[in-house]
Amino acid sequence: MGTTQLETVPEPKYWHLKNVLSEALDSEFSVGEVLPNERELAARFGVARATLRQALEQLELEGRLQRRRGVGTTVAPPRVGVAVGTGQHGWPGTADDAWRIVDCTHAVPPAAIADALGSGREEAVHVVRRSRRSHGQQVAAERLYIPAASVPGLTAIDAPSGPARARAVLRELQRLELEGQERSVELGSARAEDAKELDRLPGAPVLVVTTRFVARKRTAAISVATYRADTCRLTFGDSGGVEIHHGPERQAS
């Protein structure tokens, strides 16, 4: 940045800084490399640390950087594509399934979930927690809400609790004929518990995938899966992942 700033320059410093760093990342750094620490970078660019951090935050949001307290800032690998499928998979917990069961509890779900399930707001449902890894990294945490009505064959004390019970619940669920499923994706921030499992700080940006499973014309189960937004690219469609990574794409200004 020499002295060319004729055009009014109401461009924020952190924005300009982000672009400069972004280009430097493309040309002068390779994946996994650690950047100088924040205090030094700030000094080098002649800005306050807070301003430098604003630029780094953006780059992390875009999946270009990875920051870890006590360690440092490193250049992130391209986002991994995780398949979220489109219906053919059927019930959760079948065959291929990329998920690993964590545990199973019996609790009252959030009001919004209870309403969608058609269960009473005070009614406890089965809550199966699962987690998903991909490319050797934790990418998602899921909560599966299953009302008792969807697993009639389950005897009360079939299995005490934990993974064994989770498997029993999923097995019963799979007896129903799946008529369809609806998905939605939105941005959210990781609750404390999920953040821990995803190895992120609370409030980290996540992509929340909500799936409603329909059987017997009713909502048989609801899955709420939170994916790390910084490292994941969700892919839909039946033919694998789209190989487009928005890397060195030039920003306009």
Partner DNA sequence: CAGTGGTCTAGACCACGTA
Partner DNA sequence: ACGTGGTCTAGACCACTGC
If one counts every other C-beta atom within 10 angstroms of the C-beta of residue 22, the result is 21
> Is residue 196 part of the contact set for DNA (CB under 7 A)?
no
Query: Given the structure tokens 């053919």, which residue do they identify?
Result: 88
> Is residue 156 part of the contact set for its own copies (CB under 8 A)?
no
Helices marked H in 62-182? 111-117, 162-173
Query: Given the structure tokens 């599966």, which residue do they identify?
Result: 144
> How many positions of this chain bind its own copies (CB under 8 A)?
62
CA 147, CA 219: separation in Å to the nearest integer?
9
CA 230, CA 247: separation in Å to the nearest integer?
14
User: Which one of the spans 31-39, 92-100, 164-172, 190-198 is the region binding DNA (CB under 7 A)?
Assistant: 31-39
User: Which one of the spans 12-20, 129-137, 138-146, 152-160 is the region binding DNA (CB under 7 A)?
Assistant: 12-20
Among 6, 71, 107, 187, binds DNA (CB under 7 A): 71
Query: Given the structure tokens 């390779």, which residue do they identify?
Result: 30
Containing 58, the helix (H) or strand (E) segment is helix 49-61
> How many positions of this chain bind DNA (CB under 7 A)?
26
Reading the block at residue 219, the tokens are 């909502």
Q: Nearest CA to 82 among 144, 139, 143?
A: 139
> Is residue 18 part of the contact set for its own copies (CB under 8 A)?
yes
User: Which one of the spans 68-76, 124-132, 157-165, 226-234 is the region binding its own copies (CB under 8 A)?
Assistant: 226-234
Among 31, 61, 201, 242, binds DNA (CB under 7 A): 201
CA 207, CA 225: separation in Å to the nearest integer?
8
> Is residue 211 part of the contact set for DNA (CB under 7 A)?
no
The residue among 138 and 210 lying less far from its own copies, judged by its C-beta, is 210
Residue 61 beta carbon to DNA: minimum distance, rounded to whole angstroms: 12
Residue type, 146: I
> Is residue 191 part of the contact set for DNA (CB under 7 A)?
no
- Which residues of the chain form contacts with its own copies (CB under 8 A)? 12, 15, 18, 58, 61-63, 79, 81, 86-87, 110-113, 115-116, 180-189, 191-193, 202-203, 205, 207-208, 210, 212, 222, 229-230, 232-253
